[in-house]
């Protein structure tokens, strides 16, 4: 049987494409979605549209939603909440307890004076200053971030071009303090 160079080339390209797909799926891909977080010591029952969710203490649940308007109903500490939220992005966080969450924005790529830009912004948490672009969020629904509670910043970030890239992640208070301690102190 003769060797067919065209067939060998096609098989090599298919093998390379397979490796690229595997690397993307296991290293680079980010699964978007919505999370309901319960940082309290009590179980929370929440109804979004026609779906019921029960979240155990100190747990979070990932849910599927479509963009658009959604009704949210729940009882917390004897107070009934019945409201409508508007979902604009592909990921978000439901905060029925209205706890403090912090969105930290990390710059990627080369920038001039990045240290002075980083040091010029700060926020106080428990009487301690934290430097960087950090915002405090307390709303029922939060979606101004890129990585959710159950996602980590990427170990590898491939950047193309000269465009500045900032990636933000939402943290609960204790997780943010631990993340900041491990990475910036």
Domain layout of the chain by residue ranges? 1-30, 33-184
Specify the pLDDT at position 160: 60
Summarize the confidence of residues 140-158 as an average pLDDT: 83
pLDDT band at 159 (very low <50, low <70, confident <90, very high): low
pLDDT above 70 (res 1):
no
Q: What is the pTM of this model?
A: 0.78
Specify the pLDDT at position 166: 80
Distance of alpha carbon 47 from alpha carbon 171, whole angstroms: 24
Q: What is the mean pLDDT of the chain?
A: 85
> Which residue would you say has higher pLDDT here, 113 or 3?
3
> Which residue would you say has higher pLDDT here, 166 or 25?
166
> Which residue would you say has higher pLDDT here, 158 or 75?
75
pLDDT above 80 (res 164):
no
Distance of alpha carbon 51 from alpha carbon 94, whole angstroms: 14
Distance of alpha carbon 92 from alpha carbon 65, whole angstroms: 10
Q: Give 6-49 pLDDT, tens digit per residue.
A: 888 888 999 999 888 887 777 666 677 899 999 889 999 999 99
> Which residue would you say has higher pLDDT here, 180 or 24?
180
Percent of the chain scoring above 70 in pLDDT: 84
Specify the pLDDT at position 134: 92
Summarize the confidence of residues 131-138 as an average pLDDT: 91
- Looking only at the bridges linking them, the beta strands covering 92-94 and 34-38 are parallel
The residues, ordered by sequence, that sit 6+ positions from 106 with a Cβ below 8 Å of its Cβ are 132, 153, 166, 167, 168, 169
Phi-psi category of residue 68: left, alpha or beta, with phi > 0 → left and psi -120 to 50 → alpha: left
Query: To which residue do tokens 């479509």 refer?
Result: 66
90 phi and psi angles, rounded to 5 deg: -80, -5
Question: Do 63 and 38 contact (CB within 8 A), yes or no?
Answer: no
Q: Give 75-109 pLDDT, tens digit per residue.
A: 988 889 999 999 998 889 999 999 999 999 887 66
pLDDT band at 142 (very low <50, low <70, confident <90, very high): very high
């Amino acid at each position: 049987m003769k060797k067919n160079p065209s067939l060998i080339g096609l098989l090599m390209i298919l093998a390379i494409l397979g490796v690229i797909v595997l690397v993307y799926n296991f290293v680079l891909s980010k699964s978007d979605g919505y999370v309901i977080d319960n940082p309290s010591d009590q179980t929370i029952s929440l109804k979004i549209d026609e779906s019921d969710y029960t979240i155990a203490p100190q747990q979070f649940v990932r849910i599927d939603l479509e963009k658009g308007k959604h009704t949210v109903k729940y009882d917390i500490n004897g107070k009934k909440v019945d409201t409508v939220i508007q979902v604009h992005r592909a990921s978000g966080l439901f905060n029925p307890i209205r706890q403090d969450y912090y969105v930290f924005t990390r710059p990627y790529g080369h920038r001039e004076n990045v240290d002075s830009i980083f040091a010029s912004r700060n926020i106080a948490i428990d009487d301690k200053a934290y430097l960087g672009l950090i915002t405090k969020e307390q709303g029922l629904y939060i979606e101004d971030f890129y990585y959710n509670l159950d996602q980590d910043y990427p170990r590898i970030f491939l950047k193309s071009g000269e465009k500045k890239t900032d990636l933000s992640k939402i943290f609960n208070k204790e997780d943010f303090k631990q993340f900041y301690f491990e990475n910036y102190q």
